Amino acid sequence: MKYQLRFIIPITLLLLAGGLLGASFSRYLSDITEDLRKLEEAFLMINRRYVDPVEPNQAAEDAIEGMLKSLDPHSSYIDASAFKEVAESFQGSFGGIGVWFQIPDGDTARVVSPIEDGPSEKAGIRAGDRIIAVDDTSVVGVGEDEVKRRLKGPVGTQVEVTIRRLGIQHPFTVPLTRDLIPLYSITSSYMVDEITGYIRISRFAQSTYAEFIQALDELQEQGMERLLLDLRDNGGGILQSAVAIVDEMLAGNESIVSTIGRSVPSEVFVAQRTGRFETKPIIVLVNGNSISASEIVAGALQDHDRALLVGHRTFGKGLVQNQFPLPDGSYLQITTARYYTPSGRLIQTPYEEGDREGYFEAKLDGLIKAQQDPEKYAESLPDSLKFTTTHGRTIFGGGGIMPDYVIEGDSLRPRILRALYGGALFETFRLWFENNEQALRTTWEDRADEFVNDFTFSTAQWDALWVSGASSQVPVTFVDADPSTEELQFTYSELNENSETIRLYFTALLSRQLYGARIATPLFHAIDETFQESLSLWSEAEKLALLSQ
């Protein structure tokens, strides 16, 4: 009989539990029904009784936003038009004319560069051209989003753009047929030296893994023996793309990331195949704008001692978000789980539900502290936020991924360089370039290699830059002593002490205007502190690589 009792008691308990759960679930459904009825009554009452007419769609969207505000800081509502752009960014392509452009304040759309083999390049549109009309409708003074909207369209449709070009007296019209335009995730890849390859991933879309493999193969064919992987300012994207890329750098069966949620099954993603780059040295560059999927890549490689991380603490967005459609084509983007690195670190920084403003303020404060005094920041963390890598190195949790080597913060730069990277000196350059564009293009057109090797600012050009700066919308001026700290005013000694960096920055900007990002990127890297510092750390990365062999 005792064997029967062993089964009878659990079965009885299960039946009782089932009855209790059934009653509980029934009450839960009843509560939801009452809450929905209350929401509906409030919506109808406001629509009928409010003193002014109420736009129902806006009221509904506001109600949705109100509900989401009580949740985590990243759950959001995406209207139908915005979701179309989100979908394009993840798909990695859209219908358009294939041109990168920028619009200085109050100016026209200026072509930075046509996309290779796109409709614009084939039609002869080139860097420096100004788009002044689309289908006979002026776009002078029109915002960037509106210009994009007019240029985009279904593949195969026709569009006419009116171009103003320096050296040609009258504007001219170019008929174009829209084509499928790729949105590249790999925005730069090149050989830094004979054995060092560089790849920058700007986001994780459906095409990112294929782009990464192509770049990796091309660099290995050129002799790459070590990889500098740049994930700075990478806003994240598709989890599967990030996992596939990590799989190329980790040995089989090593964990990459795990997800734990309430209403979805927990998952562990592991490396499953022999990768193309499993044993060679890797350095990963990260910063405070490395978000979500990029943090998964960085965290997995650090946890397994597979890469040396250099830069600043990452953003700390470790929430799995799924998009759920609503009847009008809009979507709810709702957090369904959390990401954990292989060592067990939660990527997400702490938050209080409903306090979005406090969340971002605390996040910024934490990023600054981790950047300005990383040792003090690490010492302040409790033991519960200290983890170990596969081979016993101490790493830190608490939100985001703390790099192995932290580069000094922007606040420690000379004041004039902070202005440079903040945009004031870019405005100085922009105005100077507008005044000299025709002569520069005439002199340097189709001479990219010579430009990189030979270009220097003449004394006259250098002096003219600062005349332009003083008359720009963000005026930069110089005095002999005692500059104002509240205005963009500097001493001549500040300029002279940092002139080499500023010259390199302006040269890089000029090369981007003349030849596009491919030529300009190595020039920007010449004044990139994190990039330059990482090149001195290969001995540390090589020690980690030996652990994987």
Active site residues: 292, 303, 317
Cβ partners under 8 Å of residue 542, min gap 6: 226, 281
Cross-strand bridge partners of residue 173 = 162
Cβ partners under 8 Å of residue 38, min gap 6: none
Torsion on CA atoms 152, 156, 159, 165, rounded to nearest 10: 90
Residue by residue, DSSP assigns 438-452 as: HHHHHHHTT-HHHHH
Q: Is 373 helix (H, G, I), strand (E, B) or coil?
A: coil
Cα–Cα distance, 510 to 490 (Å, whole number) = 23
Sequence-separated contacts (24+) of 136-144 with Cβ below 8 Å: 136/160, 136/162, 139/108, 139/109, 140/108, 141/106, 141/107, 141/108, 142/103, 142/109, 143/103, 144/101, 144/102, 144/103, 144/109
Angle formed by the axes of helices 239-247 and 293-303, to 10°? 30
Structure tokens at 411: 């606040």
Q: What are phi and psi of 274, to 5 degrees?
A: -75, 120
State the SS3 of 404-426. Answer: CEECCCHHHCCHHHHHHHHCHHH
Alpha helices (runs of H) in 157-238, residue ranges in sequence order: 208-221
Cα–Cα distance, 163 to 126 (Å, whole number) = 10
Sequence-separated contacts (24+) of 533-539 with Cβ below 8 Å: 533/310, 533/405, 533/407, 534/228, 534/283, 534/285, 534/310, 534/405, 535/192, 535/196, 535/228, 537/283, 537/308, 537/310, 537/405, 538/196, 538/226, 538/281, 538/283
Residue by residue, DSSP assigns 274-285 as: --TTSSS-EEEE
How do 282-286 and 226-230 pair as beta strands?
parallel
Question: Quick one: DSSP state of residue 472?
Answer: S
